[in-house]
Amino acid sequence: MSENGTLRRGRPGYDQQGILDVAVAAFIQYGYDATSMGVLADRLGLSKSAIYHHFASKDEILDRALDTALGALEGVLERADAAHGRAADRLDQVLRGAVHVLVDKLPYVTLLLRVRGNTEVERRALARRRAFDKRVTTLVSEAQAEGSLRSDIDVRIVERLLFGMINSIVEWYRPGGAEDADRLADDVIAIALDGLRMPTSNRVDELLG
Amino acid sequence: MSENGTLRRGRPGYDQQGILDVAVAAFIQYGYDATSMGVLADRLGLSKSAIYHHFASKDEILDRALDTALGALEGVLERADAAHGRAADRLDQVLRGAVHVLVDKLPYVTLLLRVRGNTEVERRALARRRAFDKRVTTLVSEAQAEGSLRSDIDVRIVERLLFGMINSIVEWYRPGGAEDADRLADDVIAIALDGLRMPTSNRVDELLG
């Protein structure tokens, strides 16, 4: 169950990832500050020293949890950059990929979105989020420059509204519901890139003309 | 400064609205539970009894604050319903109106969006939010039925994604910034209804054909 044998060193049932999952659920329920190592130990049915065997501190648990979400989002950007092609297509790929990360790592992204920068670990996570947002903003600029996205909206506003829509999914999405990640990603792309309104011929003339 | 003379009955500088503004800022900063009447009195430079002169309890302050946000959002729907006309145009009006409410009553809406239903006052506010969402969802259904909005996305998902985008504005909007409410409302409508992508002739054929 665990390649490097960490499971065997802990109590049965929890490897490092298992502890992380339980800790993230507790941080979301009670808040990070209110969740002591004692509360975590109770939840896990482990001693505090068994947790310290896997993580040096509560801060390290938070760091690893935020890195899980940020690493997955950054991976989406890496893959889109590697794909080359039109910027609009790469943006499409990034938005779809971000929806998948939200659905696949829902509690981790939920925790990331609540970070306010109260500790050094949180401030580093916020800096990585800002760097991610900046790279997406650059992608929007490139798509505007190549003529594939409308250029009458400030690129920073576009990026914020797009990720506002995507991030809001953590508020209501429940795994196993009617919408799987692929369908949800299609819906986000349909609204964000093509819009909800059926085009009138006036509107088509205006856009093409 | 106050039509009904409530200002004169309190200490100089704070009428009921002024106390509400300070309380909402404190609830956002510290959380509702962590903000005692003593903390509020310190912030206001008033005695607790001076606050009780205006509000029977902390719960009543929260109730009034949430009602400020909810009442404004419900007012947007009332005006759109009164306008009759095409459902798509009324939806346009509701989305624009909601952006204006967010910008005009930023702290009040921020507080509303944090409500999780821990008290009776919060549960009533959540019920009003759900009723609002349901009326917007009905409006989206009507717009799909009249053929003015694409009908290949579940109406509840449309409503959630639209308000996910709009509500995310509270995360970054700062009064006095480059974007005024009218411009921001235009941007939201441009993305949500018309989409970011410049239409290719293929896409236009697909939508019109």
What confidence tier does A7 reach under pLDDT thresholds 50, 70, 90? very low
What confidence score (pLDDT) does residue B177 get?
73
Q: Which residues of B touch A192 (CB under 8 A)?
A: 191, 195-196
Q: What is the mean pLDDT of residues A81-105?
A: 95
Question: In the predicted model, what is the mean pLDDT of residues A171-186?
Answer: 89
> Cβ distance A198 to B147 under 8 Å?
yes
- Whether residue B105 is predicted with pLDDT greater than 50 in this model: the reply is yes
Over pLDDT 70: what percentage of chain B?
89
- Selection from B55, B59, B63, B58 nearest residue B128 by Cα: B63
Work out the mean pLDDT of chain B and round it to a whole number: 90
Does pLDDT of A128 surpass 50?
yes
- The interface pTM score, or ipTM, of the predicted complex is 0.88
pLDDT band at residue A86 under the 50/70/90 scheme = very high
- Answer yes or no: do B204 and A203 touch at CB < 8 A: no
Is residue B161 predicted with pLDDT exceeding 80? yes
Domain locations in chain A?
6-55, 59-208
| pLDDT at site B1 | 42
Q: Which of A92, A191, A193, A201 to mutate to test the interface with B (most CBs of B within 10 A)?
A: A191
Is B12 or A153 the better-scoring residue by pLDDT?
Answer: A153
A172 to chain B: which residues are within 8 Å by CB? 160
Query: Could A171 and B164 be called an inter-chain contact, meaning their C-beta atoms sit closer than 8 Å?
Result: yes
According to the model, what pLDDT value does residue B46 have? 93
**CB of B204 within 8 A of CB of A195?**
no
Q: A167–B168: do the CB atoms touch at under 8 Å?
A: yes
| Residues B15-22, mean pLDDT to the nearest whole number | 95
Q: Give the domain A59-208 fold.
A: Tetracycline Repressor; domain 2 (1.10.357)
Within 8 A of A188 by CB-CB distance, chain B residues are 161
Contact A195 B191 (CB under 8 A): yes
Give the number of A-B residue pairs with CB atoms closer than 8 Å. Answer: 135
Nearest to B130 by CA among B60, B74, B65: B74
Average pLDDT over residues B44-57: 94
Considering only residues B179 and A65, tell me which one the structure prediction assigns the higher pLDDT. A65
- Rounded-to-integer distance, Cα A101 and Cα A108, Å: 9
Closest-CA distance, A169 to chain B, in angstroms, reads 7
A145 inside 8 A of chain B by CB:
no
| Protein fold of B59-200 | Tetracycline Repressor; domain 2 (1.10.357)
Q: What is the DSSP string of A25-88?
A: HHHHHH-TTT--HHHHHHHHT--HHHHHHH-S-HHHHHHHHHHHHHHHHHHHHHHHHHT-S-HH
Partners of residue A165 in chain B, C-beta under 8 Å = 161-162, 164-165, 168
Query: Residues B104, B106, B111, B116: is their CA dihedral positive or negative?
Result: positive
Task: Say if CB B54 and CB B17 are below 8 A apart.
Answer: no
Q: Do A198 and B160 touch (CB under 8 A)?
A: no
The predicted-structure confidence for B117-158, as pLDDT tens digits, reads as follows 989 999 999 999 999 999 999 999 999 999 999 999 999 999
Find, in chain A, the residue whose alpha carbon is nearest to that of B195: A195
Q: Within its chain, how far is the Cα of B181 from the centroid? A: 13
The token pair at B136 is: 């917007």
- Least confident segment among A55-59, A97-101, A204-208, B172-176: A204-208
**Comparing C-alpha atoms, which of B26, B56, B21 is closest to residue B39?**
B26
Alpha-carbon separation of residue A191 from B37, B154, B165, B185 (angstroms) = 45, 12, 11, 16
What architecture (CATH level 2) is domain A6-55? Orthogonal Bundle (1.10)
Residue given tokens 């459902």 in the structure block: B87
Q: Which of the four pLDDT bands, split at 50, 70 and 90, describes residue B100? A: very high
Instruction: Answer whether A202 touches B (CB < 8 Å).
Output: no
**Contact (CB, 8 A) for B107 and B45:** no
CA gap A3, A199 in Å, rounded:
55
pLDDT confidence of residue A84? 85
CA-CA distance, B27 to B112, in Å (whole number)?
11
